[in-house]
Amino acid sequence: MHVFDGCVFPYPSGTVSIARYARELSSLGFSGCVAASMAPVNRIYDIPVWTARYLTEVPARLLSREAGRSVQVNDLVYVQAGDAGYNRNILTTQGVHVMTNLHTTPKDGFDRYCAQLAAEREIGVDLSVRPLIELRDGARQKVIRRYEEIFTLQNRYEFPIVLSSHASDITHLKSPREMIRLFSLVWKDENLLWESLESICRIKNRTGPVVEI
């Protein structure tokens, strides 16, 4: 079983070195992690570390170019989501592996057509545990409802979901069981939640035209 934290932010984006993250995540029970906004690594850590280019605020017309450049040097390409039209561009761009930060997008930003595209092209939808921990009251309920909508679409279309800590500090890390417990506030199918902690492996190793450069 390959249990991955789908997204951490090491120094300089965060406050912690990737070596420290790897030690801590290993002790918590993870077997790997994805380090965002980090140059490719050429050393061995306590657990496997895959690097991801984390693209934010990239104009739709430049997405293909930026994703193509990134996938040649990084293991994965993550793109920050936007409105429905922008998300459809993300989901039809070769080289993209994961769409992230959907909880910050408009309510209709990820619709049935987006869900179908994500399933067909094996592009993951990254859900961060941090809003479930850090937000309160109405803001937290809004994220829970948004995540429920995404899980409901996943139940129908079966696109990959990626669960992440989005940690920028060591205090943001949670064990796999803690992450499952927090996401169970949103979705009760623990089998799917555990599968989501493994899904980045399937996404990285997918085959087909979506990964051709």
pLDDT tens for 50-59 read 999 999 999 9
* Dihedral, 26, 28, 32, 36 alpha carbons, nearest 10: -110
Per-residue model confidence (pLDDT) at position 135: 95
Between CA 156 and CA 154 the distance in angstroms is 5
Tokens of 102: 């959907």
- The secondary structure element, H or E, covering residue 98 is strand 98-100
Write down the pLDDT at residue 149.
96
CATH 3.30.300.30 for the 4-211 domain, yes or no: no
Q: What is the pLDDT of residue 209?
A: 45
Tell me how far CA of residue 75 lies from CA of 35, 83, 168, in angstroms.
10, 26, 20
Q: Over the range 34-73, which residues count as b (16 or more CB within 10 Å of their CB) and which as e?
A: bbbbbeebeeebebbbbbbbbbeebeeeebbebbeebbee
Tokens of 209: 């035209």
- Using alpha carbons only, what angle is made at residue 178 by residues 102 and 38, rounded to the nearest 5 degrees? 55
pLDDT at 212: 42
Q: Of 54-58, 68-72, 73-77, give the lowest mean pLDDT range.
A: 68-72
Q: For the chain, what are the domain ranges?
A: 4-211
Distance of CA 123 to the CA centre of its chain: 10
Q: Which band of pLDDT confidence, cut at 50, 70 and 90, is reported for residue 211?
A: very low
**Is residue 70 very low, low, confident or very high in pLDDT (cuts 50, 70, 90)?**
confident
Q: Flag whether pLDDT at 182 surpasses 70.
A: yes
Give the pLDDT mean for 92-98. Answer: 96
Q: What is the mean pLDDT of the chain?
A: 93
Whole-number pLDDT of residue 1: 76
Q: Residue 213: pLDDT above 80?
A: no
How high is the pLDDT of residue 210? 44
Summarize pLDDT for 1-23 with one digit per residue, the tens.
799 999 999 999 999 999 999 99
Residue 101, pLDDT above cutoff 50: yes
